[in-house]
Structure 1
Amino acid sequence: MVTVVKTTVVVAGVVGLLALGVGTALYGMFTDLASAYVDPSDQTLVALGKKVYANNCAACHGAQLEGQPDWRTRQANGRLPAPPHDETGHTWHHPDAVLIAITKNGLVPGVTAPPGYVSDMPAYGKLLSDHDILAVLAYIKSSWPSKALAAQKEITQQTPQ
């Protein structure tokens, strides 16, 4: 009986340490990326982002970041068209952490979208590297006028991590 209890305690301890290690690693991955301010003045990052955007985002969000026509009007299926990422859209109203999460995970109801929200936005977390996602965001932000860029930077820096 004592051996069974000791074995159970050891196994539970090992499982607990493993879970703690995995949780710590995941927390580090997400907080490091989420806490970053994506700097659109990094021209190397912007150049990469332009290529990644053209290959993965432009089909829906437009080659010139213009979004789909009537992007504020729901389609017959109840979903909204892809919004623009230029200054006429609402992208610059969100902190970098939210934009990164949406790109990686898609629009998740109750997390990055209202509860029950359904979207055509796919998750790119398995298709694009974190660096590619940051590059796309740098490219998008590089097109914004200074006033929108300053407002978005302030929103990003004021958002708790």
Structure 2
Amino acid sequence: MGAGDMTRRALIVGAAALLLAGVGAWLALRDAPQATLDPTMPVMPVTVDIAQGETLYAESCAACHGANLEGQPDWRTPDADGRLPAPPHDKTGHTWHHPDRVLFQYTKLGGREALARQGVEFDSGMPAFGDVLTDREIWNILAYIQSTWPERARATQAERTAADMANGGT
């Protein structure tokens, strides 16, 4: 058997192994409980519409968080009402420090309610969008925001999401 035949054979065996691993994972997961059925433990859908997320961000979020995700000036300093201004969602903010579940709940429930469910009393200026946007639209907005982050921020946020999921969202 020549080197070319061995290379082709190795590629075929490798592809078959990947296919079997993928099928095995699908079989294991298809009957697993779906976290998306639990509203306290939302999970980003496998497929998202980043273009729709960008449009919805412009319509629903940019007025406070900025057209370029830059947030409001002095976002770390409370305003006259004692509330923090809207933070940036770009790499300079802290959005990427939070797991998907927290970002979703903060958007859907509003800041005050999302934090109250975690036992934190905080007068957040973030309104609830659960009556305005569907869950899918919220995920699309979050996916758009995440798509703008540098790879390192996306990787860090993905690690935090995985850890949050492993801990049951606590």
Q: CA deviation at 1:38?
A: 5.8
Q: Which residue identity is paired with 1:78?
A: G
Q: CA deviation at 1:45?
A: 1.1
**RMSD over aligned Cα, in angstroms?**
2.0
Matched, 1:148 2:148: no
Q: Is 1:65–1:85's contact at 8 Å kept on the other side of the alignment?
A: yes
Segments of structure 1 that go 5 or more residues without pairing to the other structure are 1-26
Q: Is 1:102–1:112's contact at 8 Å kept on the other side of the alignment?
A: no
Partner of residue 95 from structure 2, selected from 88, 91, 98: 91
Aligned residues: 129
Q: Which residue identity is paired with 2:127?
A: P
Q: Is 1:49–1:138's contact at 8 Å kept on the other side of the alignment?
A: yes
Q: CA deviation at 1:120?
A: 1.6
Return the alpha-carbon distance in structure 2 between the equivalents of residues 91 and 113 of structure 1. 20
Q: Secondary structure at the match of 2:116?
A: coil
Partner of residue 133 from structure 2, selected from 128, 136, 141: 128
Segments of structure 2 that go 5 or more residues without pairing to the other structure are 1-35
CA distances 1:128-159 after superposition (whole Å, capped 9, x unpaired): 00110000000000000000000000000111
Relative contact order higher in (CA < 8 Å, ≥ 6 apart): 1
Correspondence 1:50-89 to 2 at 5 A: 50-89=54-93
Partner of residue 106 from structure 1, selected from 106, 110, 115: 110
CA distances 1:21-41 after superposition (whole Å, capped 9, x unpaired): xxxxxx82515x61x2466xx
